[in-house]
């Protein structure tokens, strides 16, 4: 210990060694000071409160506030509709920005409506890009391309066939297993013929010979469906058409005489 103190004394007595020691001490003090100041500044920036110094020009509404502009409601509604449709397609969930209870700039409450100005989630999921409110079953039918399962599901939910026809073609309705008797309520005779229903099926569904003639069926087709010469004569077919269909002359003459008596 005495030897160590003696050596330190010699270093302190030497001017060159003393200068080095002093400079080293100064450098250490500066380094420690800089490190401390930097640490305090970093700690303050992390713990300090967040502040908004300003907002972009032209923004008049803040999400979540009650006093929102009609423009904000319109834009946010479009975004909600877009996200709701995306969630519906992907099978995922989506929480929209609720607008139904917010107030517009005039201080009046904005009720849920069907024109897209203020809607809740139930209506959002039922809307299409055009802005017209559509029931959820309608959206499902469109997205499923009117598949048999989608139409059956709509019918189970007591959706009328007339409403389903607004979204789906007669061909899709037929493919879903809907009977011709039901289909005739929403599809014309020509539509039913175009999707494959024959004269016999339509006759069994209640169509008359005259209706089927107007629908485009020939006398031959109607004869095969089970109509008599008299029925076809009454429907407006000529004698030549009846002969072409294969009716015997006796039946054709009898049908003509009866028709003449009716017009007397």
pLDDT tens readout for residues 72-121:
777 777 787 888 777 777 777 767 776 654 444 444 444 443 333 344 44
Q: Are 69 and 108 members of one domain? A: yes
Domain co-membership, 128 together with 140: no
CA dist., res. 225 & res. 219, Å (int): 10
3-class SS of residue 136:
helix
Torsion angle of C-alpha atoms 157, 162, 168, 196, degrees rounded to 10: 120
Residue among 126, 129, 70, 75 at smallest CA distance from 97: 75
Could you report the per-residue pLDDT of 119-153, keeping only the tens digit for each? 444 444 444 445 556 788 888 888 899 999 999 99
Gap between the Cα atoms of 132 and 171, Å rounded: 26
Do the domain assignments include residue 159? yes
What are 125's two structure tokens?
């999921």
For the chain, the domain total comes to 3
What is the per-residue pLDDT across 96-109, written as a single tens digit (0 to 9) for each?
Answer: 776 654 444 444 44
Could you read off the pLDDT of 183-209 as tens digits, one per residue?
999 999 999 999 999 999 999 999 999
76: three-class secondary structure by DSSP: helix
| 175 and 228 inside one domain | no
Confidence check: pLDDT of 41 > 80: no
Domain-terminating residue out of 197, 226, 242: 197
In a shared domain, residues 71 and 126: yes
Closest of 162, 176, 71, 87 to residue 124, by C-alpha: 87
pLDDT digits (tens, 9 = 90+) for 232-241: 999 999 999 9
Is 119 found in the same domain as 139? no
Listed residues 97, 115, 133: the one ending a domain: 133
How far is the C-alpha of 108 from the C-alpha of 263, rounded, in Å? 72
* DSSP 8-state code for residue 147: -
Average pLDDT, the chain: 77
Q: Are residues 128 and 165 in the same domain?
A: no
Q: Phi first, then psi: give them for residue 67, nearest 5 degrees.
A: -95, 85
Phi and psi at 98, nearest 5°, equal: -75, 130
**Whether residues 123 and 160 fall in one domain:** no
Tell me, yes or no, whether 144 lies in a domain: yes
Residue 139 lies in a domain: yes
The domain boundary residue, chosen from 110, 133, 156: 133
Beta-ladder partners of 127: 133
Q: How far apart are CA 210 and CA 136, in angstroms?
A: 41
Q: Is residue 212 situated within a structural domain?
A: no
Quote the radius of gyration of the chain (alpha carbons, Å): 44
d(CA 100, CA 120): 6
Q: Scanning the structure block, which residue is given the tokens 């099978």?
A: 91
pTM of the model: 0.49
Question: Residue 68: beta bridge partners?
Answer: 104
Say how many C-beta atoms besides its own lie within 10 A of residue 45's C-beta: 8
pLDDT reading at 48 higher than 60: no
φ, ψ of residue 37 in degrees (nearest 5): -65, -40
234 and 256 share one domain: yes
- The residue range of the domain holding 257 is 217-264
Domain-embedded: residue 5? no
Is there a domain that residue 85 lies in?
A: yes
Place of tokens 């139409």: 151
pLDDT tier, 60 (very low <50, low <70, confident <90, very high otherwise): low
Higher pLDDT, 244 or 46: 244
In this structure, is residue 2 part of a structural domain? no
* Residue 160 within any structural domain of the chain: yes
Identify whether the C-beta of residue 163 lies closer than 8 Å to the C-beta of residue 186.
no
């Amino acid at each position: 210990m005495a030897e160590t103190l003696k050596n330190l004394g010699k270093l302190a007595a030497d001017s060159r060694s003393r200068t080095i020691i002093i400079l080293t001490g100064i450098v250490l003090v500066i380094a420690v000071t800089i490190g401390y100041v930097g640490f305090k500044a970093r700690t303050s920036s992390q713990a300090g409160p967040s502040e908004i110094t300003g907002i972009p020009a032209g923004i008049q509404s803040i999400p979540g506030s009650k006093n929102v502009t009609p423009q904000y409601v319109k834009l946010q509604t479009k975004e909600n509709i877009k996200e709701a449709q995306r969630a519906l397609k992907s099978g995922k969930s989506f929480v929209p920005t609720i607008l139904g209870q917010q107030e517009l700039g005039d201080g009046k409450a904005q009720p849920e409506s069907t024109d897209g100005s203020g809607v809740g989630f139930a209506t959002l999921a039922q809307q299409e890009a055009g802005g017209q409110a559509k029931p959820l079953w309608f959206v499902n039918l469109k997205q499923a391309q009117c598949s048999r399962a989608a139409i059956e599901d709509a019918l189970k939910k007591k959706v009328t066939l007339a409403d389903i026809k607004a979204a789906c073609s007669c061909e899709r309705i037929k493919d879903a297993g809907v009977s011709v008797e039901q289909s005739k309520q929403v599809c014309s005779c020509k539509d039913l013929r175009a999707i494959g229903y024959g004269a016999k099926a339509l006759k069994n569904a209640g169509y008359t010979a005259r209706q089927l003639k107007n629908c485009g069926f020939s006398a031959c087709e109607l004869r095969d469906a089970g109509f008599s010469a008299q029925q076809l004569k009454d429907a407006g077919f000529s004698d030549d058409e009846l002969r072409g269909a294969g009716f015997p002359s006796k039946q054709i003459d009898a049908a003509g005489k009866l028709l003449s008596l009716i017009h007397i």
